[in-house]
């Protein structure tokens, strides 16, 4: 549904954006200009799973849910944003992909990393799947966040990325991200995200692996 604010912002945007392939300017998740550029998405659930391997924990979640609309803001006002299915394919295929799993986008609070083989990022039917199968419970940040994930006090994530390609709809009410770059960005567990369709979690099952997967809300972070 097109609200008056959405329509007014679209009209202003149409007057100032030179071409539909231009990226949003001052992209953010809320009206205040100080807000971060996060994306909101909502599927349930976080889990903590004991891997049966010396007390290690397995984390599973979705950093993005594709083809789900969420509200964003740019310098002109609100608009709808969608991440296209497969938008991260090229970036995730990099042999030197470097992405850490962190708390609150704090780069010093790393719990896993693609370059060390402790973090895997792939695309599935839902979106960007995050898997960290061997989190060390002796790690301060893992010990801090695990009980909060189990209890549901924290059930969201986000990831930092750059928009490489996208396009505005003809009426400038919707922006579709067709390709993003997550190399040297991050996937983060956060208190609140922006896109209500994703999911993440730590799981603590019996020793045998299970095919069930947890989903948590995530925020997608800024497009530089």
Confidence of residue 205 (pLDDT cuts 50, 70, 90): very low
Residue 196: its pLDDT value, please?
52
Tokens of 161: 């990325």
CA dist., res. 92 & res. 175, Å (int): 22
Using DSSP's 3-state secondary structure scheme, residue 176 falls into: strand
**Planar angle of CA 107, 85, 81, nearest 5 degrees:** 70
Q: Could you tell me the pTM of the whole model?
A: 0.81
DSSP structural state of residue 52: S
Residue 44: its pLDDT value, please?
32
Residue 215: its pLDDT value, please?
36
CA dist., res. 60 & res. 170, Å (int): 37
For the segment 63-87, the average pLDDT, to the nearest whole number, is 93
Higher pLDDT, 53 or 206: 53
Concatenated DSSP letters for 72-100? EEETTEEEEEEEPTTTTHHHHT-TT---E
Confidence of residue 195 (pLDDT cuts 50, 70, 90): low
Return the residue matching tokens 């002109």.
Answer: 76
Q: What percent of the chain has pLDDT over 90?
A: 56
CA dist., res. 196 & res. 81, Å (int): 12
Q: For the chain, give the number of residues.
A: 224
Q: Which of 198, 168, 139 is nearest to 17 (CA)?
A: 168
Mean pLDDT check: name the lowest of 28-37, 41-50, 78-87, 163-172.
Answer: 41-50
Render pLDDT for 114-163 as a digit per residue (tens, 0 to 9). Answer: 999 999 999 999 888 899 999 999 999 999 999 998 888 888 878 889 99
Residue 7: its pLDDT value, please?
97
Q: What percent of the chain has pLDDT over 70?
A: 80
Residue 65 has pLDDT above 70, yes or no: yes
Residue 58 has pLDDT above 80, yes or no: yes
Using an 8 Å Cβ cutoff, are 158 and 218 in contact? yes
Rg (CA), the chain: 18
Question: What Cα–Cα distance (Å) separates residue 207 from each residue in 21, 45, 49, 57?
Answer: 49, 21, 9, 11
Do the strands 40-42 and 195-198 form a parallel or antiparallel pair, or are they unpaired? parallel
Residue 216 has pLDDT above 80, yes or no: no
Tokens of 25: 């300017």
């Amino acid at each position: 549904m097109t609200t008056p604010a959405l329509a007014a912002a679209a009209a202003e945007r149409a007057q100032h954006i030179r071409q539909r392939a231009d990226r949003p300017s001052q992209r953010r998740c809320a009206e205040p200009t100080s807000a971060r550029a996060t994306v909101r998405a909502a599927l349930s659930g976080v889990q903590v799973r004991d891997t049966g391997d010396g007390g290690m924990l397995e984390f599973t979640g979705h950093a993005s849910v594709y083809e789900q609309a969420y509200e964003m803001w740019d310098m002109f006002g609100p608009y709808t944003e969608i991440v296209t299915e497969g938008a991260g394919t090229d970036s995730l295929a990099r042999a030197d992909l470097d992405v850490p799993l962190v708390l609150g986008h704090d780069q010093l609070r790393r719990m896993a990393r693609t370059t060390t083989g402790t973090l895997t990022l792939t695309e599935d039917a839902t979106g960007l799947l995050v898997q960290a199968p061997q989190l060390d419970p002796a790690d301060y940040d893992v010990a801090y966040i695990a009980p909060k994930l189990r209890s549901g006090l924290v059930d969201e994530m986000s990831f930092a990325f750059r928009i490489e390609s996208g396009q505005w709809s003809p009426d400038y009410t919707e922006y579709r991200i067709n390709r993003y770059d997550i190399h040297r960005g991050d996937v983060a567990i956060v208190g609140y995200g922006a896109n209500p369709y994703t999911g993440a979690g730590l799981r603590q099952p019996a020793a045998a692996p299970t095919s069930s997967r947890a989903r948590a809300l995530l925020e997608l972070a800024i497009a530089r």
